[in-house]
Structure 1
């Protein structure tokens, strides 16, 4: 697809989205598996590093959805565990009926990383969902895996146990990509109130892209296989409904049985946004050995990163490093217009400008500010700053995308050039028993780069606005509402006709 000439709108993606990328260690530059992705939600996003905590016997947590969800539900309480692990995540504030703060995942102190991705089910299954529905929902599962799991496999087993014990609350089906340094899994949780779920282990020489999530061929004897897991009734229920004939000789294809039954719905080539999962997987594989820079390029691709992308993430899962040195690169909003910044679990403070603000936060237009947040709200907000960059840049992407992208990459390369000495120094301090000093070093560097990024964003915003003014390209709104009613979102794609098939424009 050409990315040069001009058109700043695209057909809106499904409302329930987010991308996930998995690259097996045999295909990476470091020899370790990598995860990347975006979070696609309207509401604001903010960075949080949640500390490990001990909990009292009898403590409980609230899970599930409310009666405002598309499939109404009731919140329930489930027991808290005695100890939860430290993890890093990007939270967001709104998905109707799903209580905030919500998360698509992140990474914990045991090198377990999670990505949440939409994956709708067949209409008949969704229609079976009881009302009110109860149970854990997609964000609960992502957070609980980070809080409680020491391995990816344990995370998969935890999801199955939680669904079996408490039920599953849904908007119509969902997947999670869960990985650690040794293995990775795709877990698909199904609507219908039947406790259905399936999980497939990914190979170390595999690339998997979820948008939506999918699992295809699944063995009938999955309960006896090390590379598959699922609910006890996964196949029997499909047989009872007449959706699968075990005597047909056909493979049990999870997507074909439990996925949407539209003619255009296919697991890898159905076509969502402007690159299918298969095309993204091949484009990533062609980069092998894949580096963190390469995966940032894939996540940043204007064909998938637009106004709906709330942030970008890339992480390498290297089990040899200390838990404080678990690192994840995070772009504070869509990475087409924002730099990836390095954060470590050893960082002890997130700058105010990267914390929660009222911009795009649920309920902000209907209430005054909580006084406890007044200084944080008075600070600049990274999400808003780089949204400004996006809106100025995408107004004329043919001109500005080729100029802005190298600046973001150059900023990131400065950080990458510092990784060796910085992480070696922190590891040396930890080995000498000076963990507090190591955390201080990581915090100083991470927060410093975060503030440098804010300065870069201000410079880009001023330059882009001045360019628009001085070249006579500044346009004021002519009609309509400031809130999108239907159809299109801002993107930096060009020469793109929303009425033509995406595959024909690549």
Structure 2
């Protein structure tokens, strides 16, 4: 689209996020089990946050009867709030996630989700509410925010539907704290659910079931038409006041005979179609069609979609994919593909829930971590900080490739996909061996094998990244030429331009999209 229209679309996105600076969001993909190569439910996504990201495997824990957790937002949030304490459950499950540190007024560490030992996967996606709901949100607001809900679902849910019920129960008891509205995509080996939580302090939420033949891409999150009679409907869940509150506000008239479209009634009124919001170079609807066309979808196929340069750029903090399998023999073998930063220029490494530790090169570093520029390093982290950081390495690859994307992105992509294909070639014997060890009673040996392979492979990926960064640096110095900054401001609050998809804002959209 022309630069003015692109600017207007991005401005709508920023307004929808109720933010005064950048539009921070996330992408999510769902592919039903009837459309995948191995019969699994596949969930993929990206986290779009500025701050550093790192991989965590959180062990299962038992908690005392009087244990509590702190949830909510602070007075620094766009909609100011107060932190509250809520009860913790007696036992929380093991889970894997990417953590990050920075969203204004939302205490770190934060998460967009991950997967737990019961194969319940969670993705968080921005989903703005209509302005009237934002305006009526209490100041200060109290309740659980998006990261709290994602984490608690991983800690407590045994199925996707139970995850929805947990969210609904928590909001009813403790409230929802928000920057303007949010969705969660929750899935298990049988189905998925999209849960939309709204601003306003009214406890409004609704959830739609996704089945085996569904493909859903969310950016922003959203739900369209739903029936008005939600009682005992297996495909929908909602707060008790969901329909009645809209009627009371005059936003929906049952007598008019029109369907109840959640986006039109409760969503940001500038986004009439959440499946085609006109923000990225490729709409969620187009991405859904491209994904469905791949059926039966393999992990390699969905990795290709998740790293598509038309939607993955410098905004993307990491990439993730998990296959949820009904025939999985043991939770230690739950497998996650994870890219340490934007996957358009970073490899997906394989991790299992049975992995016991993550190499320090993939753990937390000060690069882009909140408050690093204003604080000194905790001596306890000196050795970890002295290591290379995968997030920074592959950012170098991305920025170098941006200098000449037509020439440099294709070989980068080929190297990344070839590395992942090499990893896939090992998965059968690694998992077969681990299963045999577990069946013989030697879980410790199985976990040691998974930890060794995942860690060794991740370090091999980082070595490749260093080689790629050095080669690209030499290329830009000798061939394409380096361009020094022309301005004086290294940081920007403006939405970034996707250089790797030729996203020049002064060029019409048709010329920006690669085939």
Tell me which interval the TM-score lies in, with the shorter structure as reference length: over 0.9
Distance 2:47 2:390 in 1: 16
Structure 1 position 93, deviation (Å):
0.4
Relative CO higher for 1 or 2, CA cutoff 8 Å, sep ≥ 6? 1
Find the residue that maps to 2:263 and give its secondary structure. helix
1:288-344 CA deviation, whole Å, 9 max, x = no partner? 110000000001100001001000001100132210000110000000100000000
Distance 1:330 1:498, change over 3 A: farther
Distance 2:91 2:198 in 1: 29
Distance 1:73 1:119 in 2: 19
Distance 1:488 1:324 in 2: 39
State the partner residue of 2:133: 125
**Kept in 1: contact 2:502–2:512 (CA 8 A):** no
Structure 2 residue 466 is matched with structure 1 residue 458: yes
State the partner residue of 2:452: 444
**Kept in 1: contact 2:219–2:274 (CA 8 A):** no
Distance 1:472 1:234, change over 3 A: closer
Distance 1:468 1:401 in 2: 13
**Kept in 2: contact 1:314–1:330 (CA 8 A):** yes
State the partner residue of 1:45: 53
Q: How does 1:1-12 map to 2 (within 5 A)?
A: none
Distance 2:322 2:403 in 1: 31
State the partner residue of 1:382: 390
Structure 2 residue 80 is matched with structure 1 residue 72: yes
**Kept in 2: contact 1:111–1:319 (CA 8 A):** no
Structure 2 residue 280 is matched with structure 1 residue 273: yes
1:338-366 CA deviation, whole Å, 9 max, x = no partner? 00000000000100000000000000000
1:25-59 CA deviation, whole Å, 9 max, x = no partner? 11100111100000000000000000000001101
**Kept in 2: contact 1:223–1:230 (CA 8 A):** no
Structure 1 position 248, deviation (Å):
1.2
Q: Which moved more, 1:197-206 or 1:468-477?
A: 468-477
Distance 1:18 1:290, change over 3 A: same
Distance 1:345 1:93, change over 3 A: same
Distance 2:510 2:490 in 1: 27
Q: How does 1:94-493 map to 2 (within 5 A)?
A: 94-262=102-270, 265-321=272-328, 322-471=330-479, 473-489=481-497, 491-493=499-501
Structure 1 position 183, deviation (Å):
1.3
Structure 1 position 271, deviation (Å):
1.6
Find the residue that maps to 2:255 and give its secondary structure. coil
Distance 1:387 1:459 in 2: 13
Q: Which moved more, 1:92-101 or 1:315-324?
A: 315-324
State the partner residue of 1:7: none
Distance 1:348 1:495 in 2: 41
Structure 1 position 505, deviation (Å):
5.0
Find the residue that maps to 1:309 and give its secondary structure. coil
Structure 1 position 174, deviation (Å):
0.2
Distance 1:392 1:167 in 2: 45
- Compute the RMSD of aligned alpha carbons: 1.6
**Kept in 1: contact 2:25–2:47 (CA 8 A):** yes
State the partner residue of 1:89: 97
Size of the alignment, in residue pairs?
A: 497
Distance 1:503 1:106, change over 3 A: farther
Distance 2:353 2:510 in 1: 39
Structure 1 position 270, deviation (Å):
2.3
Unpaired runs of 5+ in structure 1? 2-9
Distance 2:465 2:507 in 1: 34
**Kept in 2: contact 1:311–1:335 (CA 8 A):** yes
**Kept in 2: contact 1:275–1:503 (CA 8 A):** no
**Kept in 2: contact 1:11–1:489 (CA 8 A):** no
* TM-score (structure 1 length as normaliser): 0.96
**Kept in 2: contact 1:11–1:498 (CA 8 A):** no
Structure 1 position 469, deviation (Å):
1.1
**Kept in 1: contact 2:113–2:150 (CA 8 A):** yes
Could you list the runs of 4 or more consecutive aligned residues of structure 1 that deviate by over 6 angstroms after TM superposition? 10-13
**Kept in 2: contact 1:52–1:86 (CA 8 A):** yes
Distance 2:318 2:203 in 1: 31
